[in-house]
Amino acid sequence: MRCSAEGCPMDWDIESSRLCSKHHWASDTRDWPEITRVLKEKLADSAIARDRRESEPKKPYPSFEERKRILAKAMTALSAPRDMKGWAKRLKARHKSGDRLTPFQTEAYKKALGEPL
Ligand SMILES: [Zn+2]
């Protein structure tokens, strides 16, 4: 059953008002036409996306050689030494360049890098 807001493409999901949740929870009924417009747009976008997906040719399943190559590449990436504190260094660099970090972020990177708080 359709939402009772004019032109709304959604089914209602709030029994008391017979509105979709977007219209039901809008703070002002004057916002309804805009909400309807956005809902229609989203629906159209997802229909377009679905059409595109369906019209794309399916990729053939990779050959045995291709699968072996992909797996070898993944194994190499997994066994490479990793910088476990990369995230902390990146946060520190952001902090030094003037980015605003939360106190929690600042404390976390300093602790990880063994710097005084
Ligand atoms: Zn609605």
pLDDT means over runs of 10, the chain (117 residues): 94 93 94 95 90 83 93 88 88 96 96 94
Q: Is residue 6 part of a domain?
A: no
Q: Is residue 58 part of a domain?
A: no
Using a CB cutoff of 5 Å, list residues around ligand 1, an ion: 3, 5, 8, 10, 20, 23
Query: Residue 73 has what pLDDT?
Result: 93
What is the Å distance from ligand 1's center to 9 Cα? 7
Q: Is residue 56 part of a domain?
A: no
Query: Residue 60 has what pLDDT?
Result: 85
Query: Residue 21 has what pLDDT?
Result: 94
Split into its structural domains, the chain has a count of: 1
Q: Is residue 89 part of a domain?
A: yes
**What is the span of the domain harbouring residue 70?**
64-112
What is the Å distance from ligand 1's center to 28 Cα? 13
Q: Is residue 107 part of a domain?
A: yes
Q: Is residue 16 part of a domain?
A: no
What is the Å distance from ligand 1's center to 51 Cα? 24
Query: Residue 87 has what pLDDT?
Result: 93
What is the Å distance from ligand 1's center to 21 Cα? 7
> Is the overall model pTM greater than 0.85, yes or no?
no
Query: Nearest-CA neighbor of 46 among 7, 9, 4?
Result: 9
Query: Residue 77 has what pLDDT?
Result: 84
